[in-house]
Amino acid sequence: MKNEFDYQEVPYDFAHCLNDQCTQVNHCLRHLAAANSTSIRKFFPIVNPAHYPKERDKCPFFKSQIKKRIALGITNLLDNVPHKTALLLRRQMVEHFGKTLYYRFLRKENELLPEHQIFIKQLFEQNGINEEPVFDSYRESFDW
């Protein structure tokens, strides 16, 4: 996964970090955002320098620069699953996520975060489906 950075993707309220003395500076998303800030925004939130940790390697504000694989859509998720098992899996997903979120996943209105994908994979395994769940599409994103 490439970690190409586009400052336009940074959420408006995402705190930037200007601490160049931090030992994690080369791996921190907050510092990356600050280093790539543009003149488009006149102001942005920062981590208060008074709260920089004394132990430089244990920062509570650290955010990893590693992108996560986000899935979108479950319209074909149960196509290769036996009908009876598919009904059970659908019911279990609705019970876990709730009807609203389940249908938002179905209509591609909400993204399936890695923890959602792991839960669905575990449901497949619990119900004897050895096949990897396949979602409609995937993209990589920073964990803002």
pLDDT tens per residue across span 55-79: 767 889 999 999 999 999 999 999 9
Radius of gyration of the chain (CA): 20
Q: Tens digit of pLDDT for each residue in 85-136?
A: 999 999 999 999 999 999 999 999 999 999 999 999 999 999 999 999 999 9
Query: Taking Cα atoms as reference points, which of 122, 123, 115, 106 lies closest to residue 72?
Result: 106
Domain ranges of the chain: 1-66, 68-141
Tell me the whole-structure pTM to 2 decimals: 0.74
User: Tokens representing 106?
Assistant: 């179905």
Q: What three-state secondary structure class fits 34?
A: helix
pLDDT-based confidence at residue 3 (cuts at 50, 70, 90):
low
Length of the chain: 144
| 99-106 vs 83-97: helix crossing angle, rounded to 10 | 120
